[in-house]
Amino acid sequence: MKSVRWLIAAWRGRRRLAVFLVVFSILNALLAVSYPIFMRAVIDAIKNKAGMEVVSRNVLILLCIGVANFFVYASMQGTRAWTNLVFERDFRQRIFEHLIRLGRGFFQRFRTGDIVTRLTDDLGTDMKLSWFACSGIFRTIEALCMIVFGLIAMVRLNPVLTLYAAGPLPILVIIFMWTASAVEARYERLQKRISDVNAHMESCFSGIRVVKAYRREGGQQQGFHDVMTRRKTAEIDAVKVGTIIQAMYGYIWQFGVVIVLLVGGKMVMEGKLTIGTLAAFDAYVMMLVFPMYDIGTFFVRGKSAGVSIRRLTDMEDVQPEITEMDQETCGRPCVPPAGLRNSLRFENVSLCFVPGGQRVLDNVSFEVRPGEIVALVGRVASGKSSVVNMIPRLIDPTDGRICLDGVPTKELCLENFRKLVGYVPQEALLFSDTIENNIRFHRDWIAREDIEQAAEVSRLVEEVESFPNGFQTKIGQRGVTISGGQKQRIALARALCGKPRILILDDCTASLDSQTETALWEGLKKVFPSCATIVISHRPATLERANLILVLERGKIVERGTHQELVRQKGVYHTLYELGKLQDEVGVGWKE
């Protein structure tokens, strides 16, 4: 039922198109059904030697019907093919727009390869969902019109012979009853296997450097061979059942031809039927073979379309975790943030990823003011990234709140609020595009000078100028042709060119040398003096500059203060700082 509602929704707003296709299906069937009537007249006229005038008149009519039928069929078929493509684009666009709004939870649940399969293969026009949504439905309507009009014409010619001809019909109904669930199960399995293949390719190619470093090409080949073999088996299974059912619908109906020839031939010999009527009857039964085949196709493809709709609605039903408050939920319209005037405050913030599970953050409170630097330090998995990810609302706190100038960020207009935040994630991600486009990142309002300034502060300009096409140099997928440090600085420039009021740096200074790091902080202070910075770092040069340092352990702030204060305490921070210094000297990470 859900699948039917989904398909009806697809036709909402396309009523005229649907009416056109129905009218042309009826017209096409009427023209096709009228053909044997005039053929019968020609044969009987020849048999009765009624004269060439009668024969030629009927042949001319047949010719006109043929030409008219061609135009009607061509327009109907062309419109169906066009609509399939429009559906394919619209469905993909709609679902893509939905998916892009979803949070991290969704992308952890669904593998990328699976999402891609659902958006491409399930939604295709090659006998898949987009084909079914138009051609599948309207070919069946065309087939039903042919069958109904054909049977009416046959009954009018000879009701008894019609009964004989329609003998295989009950067999077809029984076949459908038996096979419906088998078809559905096989198509469901097939789509899952296709998802597995795409997921395997996605993970192999996106992690190609690790595969090569560990020389696991053989393992990947074997894995690919396995998923492809499983896909092939599922495909053969589904195609076998589908083809048998479709063919049975066509061929079993052809028994009708044999019956008509036997029973009708006898009637002709007994003088109860003219030879022209028998020929017309035979033509009708033959004419209905393809519509019968189409009905079989409808059953098979309808089942596979139902599977695909279910796979798509699984994704469409997921709601974004981060939502903008509307007037109803927060009692007033969401506030357009004016900037950062006083502070960004964490007020007793706690976080659980799993409802009722262990707290990843526990009662975290601090504030950062314009121009200040707050540094977060702590061991692996202590919750540092989780704290900063909550600022641009990539995750929302389970308890407590985060306020910008006293207003909870949940009540702020999300798009405008995010424009205030510059975010450099722990793992810099670049796209296969030019360096400039990677920095601008689809924000057309950012001026070229701002990009240059951001690149200057990120200590990127000299290196970029040494590239063959400067800022227009294309970088490979995920930036494979540039170094880790360059990658991080491009990500930094991306954050800075939006002139952020709140800057988040998640361990992004790790692969910078001390000199570049110091120059970066000097540049930031000069160009963005009123920017509030929250930085995760273990580098002494960064920590010494911070106005406030927070030490996290298992999600709790265990120490807080300035560098001098914390060093004097000789607690966790002191140990981490000493290790950081050691790392700077010998180049070994204390975190490991």
Distance of CA 114 to the CA centre of its chain: 9
For 228-249, letters b (16+ CB in 10 Å) and e give eeebeebbebbeebbeebbebb
Q: Does the protein bind ligand ATP through residue 380 (CB under 6 A)?
A: yes
CA dist 447 and 441 (Å) reads 12
Nearest approach, Cβ of residue 390 and ligand ATP (Å): 10
CA angle 69, 74, 76 (to 5 degrees): 95
Among 198, 386, 453, 533, binds ligand ATP (CB under 6 A): 386
Nearest approach, Cβ of residue 589 and Mg ion (Å): 13
Record the tokens describing residue 3, joined without a space.
Answer: 């699948």
The phi and psi torsions of 426 (rounded to 5 degrees) equal -60, -40
Nearest approach, Cβ of residue 425 and ligand ATP (Å): 10
Among 125, 382, 533, 537, binds ligand ATP (CB under 6 A): 382
Q: What is the DSSP letter of 111?
A: -
Check if the beta carbon of residue 372 is closer than 8 Å to that of residue 436.
no
Stretch 430-449: interaction string toward ligand ATP, x if CB under 6 A? --------------------
CA dist 224 and 218 (Å) reads 10
Record the tokens describing residue 173, joined without a space.
Answer: 């109904």
Closest CA to 542 of 501, 583, 572, 493: 583
Among 381, 429, 447, 588, binds ligand ATP (CB under 6 A): 381
Q: Does the protein bind Mg ion through residue 117 (CB under 5 A)?
A: no
Name the residue nearer to ligand ATP (CB basis): 390 or 435: 390
Q: Does the protein bind ligand ATP through residue 384 (CB under 6 A)?
A: yes
Site for ligand ATP in 336-355 (CB under 6 A): 353
- Among Mg ion, ligand ATP, none, the one that 381 touches (CB under a kind-dependent 5 to 8 A) is ligand ATP
Instruction: Candidates 309-317, 323-331, 336-344, 376-384: pick the segment binding ligand ATP (CB under 6 A).
Output: 376-384
Name the residue nearer to ligand ATP (CB basis): 42 or 391: 391
- Among Mg ion, ligand ATP, none, the one that 104 touches (CB under a kind-dependent 5 to 8 A) is ligand ATP
Stretch 327-366: interaction string toward Mg ion, x if CB under 5 A? ----------------------------------------
Instruction: Specify which residues 553 forms β-bridges with.
Output: 556
Q: What is the DSSP letter of 390?
A: T
Instruction: Candidates 307-315, 381-389, 417-425, 527-535: pick the segment binding ligand ATP (CB under 6 A).
Output: 381-389
Beta strand residue intervals within 410-545, DSSP E: 421-424, 502-506, 532-536
Site for ligand ATP in 391-430 (CB under 6 A): 426
Instruction: Candidates 373-381, 402-410, 492-500, 570-578: pick the segment binding ligand ATP (CB under 6 A).
Output: 373-381
Could you give the 3-state DSSP secondary structure of residue 335? Answer: strand
Name the residue nearer to ligand ATP (CB basis): 455 or 492: 492
Q: Does the protein bind ligand ATP through residue 537 (CB under 6 A)?
A: no
Rg (CA), the chain: 35
Q: List Cα–Cα distances, 402 to 266, 347, 393, 443, in angstroms.
A: 91, 6, 10, 26
CA dist 50 and 546 (Å) reads 109
Among 250, 337, 378, 500, binds ligand ATP (CB under 6 A): 378
What's the half-sphere exposure (Cβ side, CA atoms, 13 Å) at 51? Answer: 3
Name the residue nearer to ligand ATP (CB basis): 78 or 589: 589
Among 104, 232, 272, 443, binds ligand ATP (CB under 6 A): 104
Nearest approach, Cβ of residue 361 and ligand ATP (Å): 8
Among 250, 296, 337, 383, binds ligand ATP (CB under 6 A): 383
Name the residue nearer to ligand ATP (CB basis): 164 or 353: 353
Q: Closest residue (Cβ) to ligand ATP?
A: 385
Closest CA to 43 of 275, 263, 266: 275
Site for Mg ion in 365-424 (CB under 5 A): 385
The DSSP code sequence of 287-310 is HTHHHHHHHHHHHHHHHHHHHHHH
Q: Does the protein bind Mg ion through residue 125 (CB under 5 A)?
A: no
Distance of CA 158 to the CA centre of its chain: 55
Cβ neighbours of residue 147 closer than 8 Å, sequence gap 6 or more: 288, 291, 292, 295
Name the residue nearer to ligand ATP (CB basis): 39 or 543: 543
Helix (H) or strand (E) holding 362: strand 361-368
Nearest approach, Cβ of residue 169 and ligand ATP (Å): 57
Chain contacts with ligand ATP (rule: CB under 6 A): 104, 353, 360, 378, 380-386, 426
Chain contacts with Mg ion (rule: CB under 5 A): 385, 426
